[in-house]
Amino acid sequence: MSSFLKEIDNDWCLFLDRDGVINKRIFGGYIRRWEEFEFLPGVKDALNTFSKVFKYIFIITNQQGIGKSLMSADALERIHTKMIAEIVESGGRITKVYYCPDLAINPNNCRKPSPYMAEKTKQDFPELDFNKSVFIGDSVSDILFAKNTGMYSVLHDSPEKVQIDADMMVGSLIEFANILKTRYKVI
């Protein structure tokens, strides 16, 4: 088990990828409407637990569907508003969602693994410490984002069976929440 888990307390921050971690990912497509958004099993319960542990909980997500004109920024904001409302209704919280609408083919974009969105969180929340932060994601770019910012990386299982060296691997958010609850008694 990863030793950093023993250090987690209420000064720590949690960063989460969205598609494939919080909600079911549409492979080869984009979630463009709330009706297409489906929470993964146990996510709301996990976020309830995380809300008792972490000072801040951020979502960091690449959303090039906007850059491809498949959806608008307003449509994405509506999805995030409804997502957060359901999370809050279940006893969880999200501090803020950061997204990058840039196309992957554009050089110098803000997409993960670029640290751009982490830098934005630091501007908005100057007291946060990336060395006391955990990022949970399901892709190579997510784990590289964590490494590029000095965060601990947790690889969430995905159908793509990503192969990259992360600080820890979990099958789901609820698995990570249960580890925090039972093994390390941080709640």
Task: List, for residues 77-92, the tens digit of each pLDDT value.
Answer: 999 999 999 999 999 9
Residue from 9, 19, 124, 167 carrying the catalytic annotation: 19
Find the length of the chain: 187
pLDDT band at 183 (very low <50, low <70, confident <90, very high): low
Identity of the residue numbered 53:
V
Q: Is 98 helix (H, G, I), strand (E, B) or coil?
A: strand
pLDDT band at 158 (very low <50, low <70, confident <90, very high): confident
DSSP state of 40: P
Averaged pLDDT for residues 93-103: 97
pLDDT band at 186 (very low <50, low <70, confident <90, very high): low
Q: Is the four-CA dihedral 33, 67, 112, 160 of positive or negative sign?
A: positive
Domains of the chain: 3-183 (3.40.50.1000)
Cα(21)–Cα(142) distance, rounded to whole angstroms? 11
Tokens of 77: 């904001």
Is 124 annotated in the active site?
Answer: no
Helices (H), the chain: 43-53, 64-67, 73-89, 116-124, 140-149, 173-178
Instruction: State residue 3's pLDDT score.
Output: 86
Is 17 annotated in the active site?
Answer: yes
Provide the mean pLDDT of the chain. Answer: 94
Instruction: State residue 160's pLDDT score.
Output: 72
Helices (H), 16-137: 43-53, 64-67, 73-89, 116-124
Contact between 139 and 17 under an 8 Å Cβ cutoff? The reply is yes
Q: Is the four-CA dihedral 140, 146, 148, 152 of positive or negative sign?
A: negative
